[in-house]
Amino acid sequence: MKFIITAVMIVTAFSTHAEIRQELGIDPSVDYASLAEMGPWDDRNYQLTKEDLDVLPDNDQYLRNVPVFFKVWARRDNPNIGKYYPRELYQSFLIHHGGLIVDGHWYKEGLGLYHHPDGLDGKPDPNFRGGQVNPDLETVLTAGAESTIEFNPDNNMQAVAGVNANGGQSMYYSTDGGQTWSFSQVNPSSCCDPTVDWSTTDVVPQRVYQADLASCTSGCDIRASYSTDGGATWATMIEIDGDNQNDKEFIHVDRSPTSPHKDNVYITYHKNNVMQFARSTDFGETWSTPVGLNTNDRGIGSDITTDSAGNIYYIYPSVSGAGLISMKSTDGGLNWQSPVQITPLRGDFDFPIPAMETREVFIYAAADVDSSNNIIVAITDETADSAGGGQTNPNNNRGEIRVFKSTDGGANWTELDKPHADDGQLNSGNPIDRFHPWMMIGENDAIHVGFYDTRNSTNRTGVDFYYNVSLDGGATWLPQGEQRFSTQTSTNISGGFEWGDYNGLSVVGDKIAMIWTDHRGSPTNAMVGTDVNQFGQPSFNMTATPSSIDVCANDTNVEVEIGLTPTQNYQGVITLSEDDTPNYVINGSFSPNGQMAPFNATYGFDVNNNGLSGTETVTIQGSGNDLGDITLKTVDFTINYADTAAAPSALTDPLDAATNVPLQPSFSWSADPNSTDYLIEVATDSGFNNVIISEQLDTNSYDVTTDLDSSTEYFWRITTLNGCGNAVSSTSSFTTLALPGDCSVGQQQITFFEYTFSSPDDIIFEHDLDTPVGVVGGLPETQGWTVSTDAGDANWALEQVGFNGSYAWQANDLPTTNDTSVVSPVMSLPSGSGPLTLRFWNEQSLESRNATSCWDAGQLLKSVNGGGFTQVTDADIINDDYTGNINAGPASGEPGWCGDPLSATVFNVDVNADAGNDVQFAFRISSDTSVGRPDGWVIDNVRVTGCQAPD
């Protein structure tokens, strides 16, 4: 382990100790020694030309941990990067390049050790196992930095944590209140920035959500997932924003029982310093299209919280000089009010201090709301005696924790006292920094804050984790002052990542846990500290199951189960009673009642005929007496009342037997005033044996959000629901629109040519129903395909990288000039069986310039009747048109595809105009003189299909 510490210490001094030799540079007009003033020296800087350096803006942001060549690549890859680079650019540099190369030596660290495991200039890689488990409940999760932790708010024996670890974002879970932890998974293709939150128990089974950054280049993709087993396993990650231009995401669930948006999941992040927002209204199954907020400003480091009415508060520090900003939405994130400045900031984005001299202290927001809808925000900022504005001399800056409060829904804000002593000024002889807080409001509206503190280190280079709490809404903090939470001081981390960007804190009932980056040993670890929450009080929780129930006039013996669970060893006897009921609810009783928790009580009642059809709320109160201390809790459930059976709805849109219906149709039907809900069903058969959509709704309309199959007949019906009896509508049918290449309804698609490159039997030259189609397996076969090269290497080969792991043609995207094609055999396309369509499976990892242009790219060409090859145009490409023009290399100026990356996709091309002719197709890849992608372009399952009447 001593080796890695030494190596990382060397990295920080490379700019001054590297022997930079001007004669090694490829452009004599560049002063290569001056590049060490723009970032740490790396030998790959020798490949930079003046033209390369021109992409850097004047006064380009200085990064202590990212060399100039990678900054050039980042701005070339993403021209929309603003004044500040993404915080994750350092991790992306390590993923792609492992670490710095200085004087020919490769110094790998952190993520670089994981992504580039082979050798270290002949030395073995360091062993990352180790760390210690402190008997005072300090637990090492894994080697890593930047972490999050959340107890289940309804069961604090469950907890989930995420860590920015060496292999990517690593997830852990606990079933004993944080005493012990189990590893769940490393998110595939992930980088960093873990964030976690829980649903309410109304979601059955309860879900815990996580988000991460993935596929990082100059920025990252935003993804989310959920677990239904407390974090032990996770559903497949869902892409929310996939353009590799994003950073610094946080997730939040609206858990207020009175919110109209309860269990909505919200996510905040930035795209090139423009704040972004997306939401899920179906428990993380799908996500809305992200939207940019306050696009005239720039920011990073946001957080989201919600109040009892479901209002969203979006808090972020501006990097455009606007200060700490709050934005509010009153309709679940559809619309946003004008931004409000919470306070000006003395810092700007980040600033160096001796404990974080390289990565620098990050200014970000942590927000929460108390039971009175007061909003609390905590941030790091530079102190009044700092240089201010993110000045680059660490000794001239000092960090502190600032806390702000709004009591009027975010319209006005007041700064509270700091959660630490106002001491340790720069001129005191013993300066102290506090930075990177996390904050959560717990039981009794206690405001809990954890943060780094340098008071116990030498020359404020190391840290401890400290903690404070306010029990009066932020008016005062603990009279004894902030408390040391970590048991040992962590010495300075000399690597480029240092302490990361943030920490985690969670408090539920009698348990509190904090997670931070710890360097008291080696390697740097994510450390969880757990303790008893001394600032809660014994209490109990109540649930109602089901949370909504349908009844009919004159029903009897209706039952709802009331569950009671104690917290912090609550010893009181709890008596249940009706607090608020509709006038038609009569004869209510509880069995059992008057017991100590935990217990379940059945609330039974009858319904008379004095109600009006509609929905009302029942409130049940629990009154507990624990040694004379009276605790009152309530729980609500809703009743959907009806006095008449439902009537069948009339289906209005789409009309029966409608054709050319959009692939995402909108359905509507007549409303029934006696209904409580509607069930829509869409099936592929009139008997509804294959139902593809089944949704229960409280409105008489429904919009499909994912494409149905084209040229397909569907059937739909509505069941009108209420407690007196349901009614089923008649059945209507409709046919979706036809896409180019589709067969008409009543015809079947037939394959005339097919190449899967795995067996000689996979090629079919004439339609023959007795010949199997799509055989996979066997050794790779060229099947008459050839490779043609006009410049560079013959860069196509059959590799086992295709559909379902089969063999396929692959061309690497080389960092050199290359122009090579894989060419099909001649195909004699039949007449009279149209429309004819060329279909091929492909994956792309080709260097893009931006969203609408390419550096390296793929193209599709064709030759008809032995003529020259010409490019197939967008006019004939059915899906996934060319990305845009190619800006360099042999195909410069021509359209091309550059998925960067594009996951497995089937492309379809209209070739009906070539019916009756002999046609060859060529897949061409063109690359320029620098920067490639290792996976390039993969082509598999090439087919030509047509249509005919079924036998």
Instruction: Please name the residues in contact with 768: beta carbons below 8 A apart, sequence gap of 6 or more.
Output: none
Q: What pLDDT score was predicted for residue 126?
A: 34
Q: What pLDDT score was predicted for residue 540?
A: 83
Question: Which residue carries 């930035």 as its tokens?
Answer: 270
The answer to whether the CB of 882 falls within 8 A of the CB of 874 is yes
Q: What pLDDT score was predicted for residue 11?
A: 38
Same fold, 138-532 and 651-736: no
Sheet of 483-484, strands arranged across: 434-441, 447-453, 464-470, 483-484
Q: What pLDDT score was predicted for residue 128?
A: 25
CA angle at residue 410 from 404 to 415, to 5 degrees?
A: 20
Do β-strands 155-165 and 138-152 pair in parallel, antiparallel, or remain unpaired?
antiparallel
Q: What pLDDT score was predicted for residue 135?
A: 30
Q: What pLDDT score was predicted for residue 154?
A: 86
Average pLDDT, the chain: 89
> Does the pLDDT at position 129 exceed 50?
no
Q: What pLDDT score was predicted for residue 232?
A: 94
Q: What pLDDT score was predicted for residue 102?
A: 84
CATH class of 748-948: mainly beta
Q: What pLDDT score was predicted for residue 603?
A: 98
Q: What pLDDT score was predicted for residue 951?
A: 67
pLDDT interval class at 77 (50, 70, 90): confident
pLDDT interval class at 880 (50, 70, 90): very high
Higher pLDDT, 520 or 515: 515
Q: What pLDDT score was predicted for residue 555?
A: 96
Q: Determine the average pLDDT of the residues in 696-704.
A: 92
CATH of domain 651-736: 2.60.40.10
> By C-alpha distance, which of 881, 751, 177, 102 is closest to 506?
177
Q: Determine the average pLDDT of the residues in 229-249.
A: 95
Higher pLDDT, 177 or 391: 177
The answer to whether the CB of 808 falls within 8 A of the CB of 783 is no
Higher pLDDT, 547 or 940: 940
Which amino acid appears at position 866 of this protein?
G
> Which pair of tokens denotes residue 739?
């896409």
How many Å apart are CA 873 and CA 860, to the nearest integer?
8
> Does the pLDDT at position 767 exceed 60?
no
pLDDT interval class at 773 (50, 70, 90): very low
> Does the pLDDT at position 103 exceed 60?
yes
CATH of domain 138-532: 2.120.10.10
Instruction: Please name the residues in contact with 54: beta carbons below 8 A apart, sequence gap of 6 or more.
Output: none
Q: What pLDDT score was predicted for residue 566?
A: 84
Q: What pLDDT score was predicted for residue 136?
A: 54
Q: What pLDDT score was predicted for residue 421?
A: 94
Most confident option among 12-21, 641-650, 750-759: 641-650
Higher pLDDT, 534 or 365: 365
Kindly report each contact of residues 312-317 with a partner whose C-beta sits within 8 Å and lies 24 or more positions away, as own/partner: 312/254, 312/266, 313/367, 313/369, 313/375, 313/410, 314/268, 314/275, 314/277, 315/342, 315/365, 315/367, 315/377, 316/268, 316/270, 316/275, 316/365, 317/345, 317/349, 317/363, 317/364, 317/365, 317/379
Q: Determine the average pLDDT of the residues in 302-308.
A: 97
The answer to whether the CB of 329 falls within 8 A of the CB of 335 is yes
pLDDT interval class at 133 (50, 70, 90): very low
Q: What pLDDT score was predicted for residue 748?
A: 81
The answer to whether the CB of 752 falls within 8 A of the CB of 763 is no
pLDDT interval class at 444 (50, 70, 90): confident
> Does the pLDDT at position 594 exceed 60?
yes
Q: What pLDDT score was predicted for residue 117?
A: 65
Q: What is the pLDDT of residues 251-265, one digit of tens each?
A: 999 999 999 999 999
Listed range (24-33, 258-267, 649-658) with the worst mean pLDDT: 24-33
pLDDT interval class at 776 (50, 70, 90): very low
Listed range (4-8, 706-710, 741-745) with the worst mean pLDDT: 4-8
Q: What pLDDT score was predicted for residue 138?
A: 87
Q: How distant, in Å, are the alpha carbons of 101, 217, 455 from that of 97?
A: 9, 11, 36
> By C-alpha distance, which of 276, 287, 215, 284 is closest to 248?
276
**Eight-state DSSP code of residue 680:** E
Instruction: Please name the residues in contact with 742: beta carbons below 8 A apart, sequence gap of 6 or more.
Output: 710, 711, 835
Q: What pLDDT score was predicted for residue 9?
A: 34
- Domain boundaries along the sequence of the chain: 2-115, 138-532, 539-642, 651-736, 748-948
Question: Which residue carries 């000794």 as its tokens?
Answer: 395
The answer to whether the CB of 757 falls within 8 A of the CB of 807 is yes
Orientation of helix 68-77 relative to helix 89-97, angle to 10°: 100
> Does the pLDDT at position 882 exceed 50?
yes
pLDDT interval class at 771 (50, 70, 90): very low
Q: What pLDDT score was predicted for residue 495?
A: 79
Residues 539-642, CATH architecture: Sandwich (2.60)
How many Å apart are CA 154 and CA 151, to the nearest integer?
8
Three-state DSSP at 395 gives helix
